Structure 1
């Protein structure tokens, strides 16, 4: 990323990242703090996925490749997108609106 910024002669940047991208950008910001004007990092985590999370992810990807979109995959993606807020009663309207936008 630093090489690209240098090649384009960009002196300072604002970073936007979500999930793994946020983690990468956080590390970049630590290494090159003089280049960073600001950063918006969403769902940034310094921990790797647990063994069971990794296994579940592999299983869902396998199912998706074999049979296409299915209820188990859809549930996994919704849980990944909304996290624990999925189980809060007040969040159900937001989730329903999100699902309707995708249709």
Structure 2
């Protein structure tokens, strides 16, 4: 069982912005943390992805279209779709769900 309050305490390890905490064949989950000065340099993933914004505000660019996101928002990004966060306000934390597990479909 997981608790959102505990997940909010997750901090990046060794400078990594993403911390995976659950992995099964069908899915993987992690916390992605960005600060105001961080660049989101992620590349398109080979799996479908859901973001649940836990803390902060930002813009997400999905395939060239910007959308404002804030705590409580849920965003779906299809596999192989370019996307990244910009204009991060404060500390930004999002729960990331990959289905199937991240890198499962990578060739």
Query: Which bin holds the TM-score, normalised by the shorter protein?
Result: under 0.3
Normalising by structure 1, report the TM-score. Answer: 0.22
Normalising by structure 2, report the TM-score. Answer: 0.21
Larger RCO (CA under 8 A, 6+ residues apart): 2
Q: Who wins on radius of gyration, i.e. which is larger?
A: 1
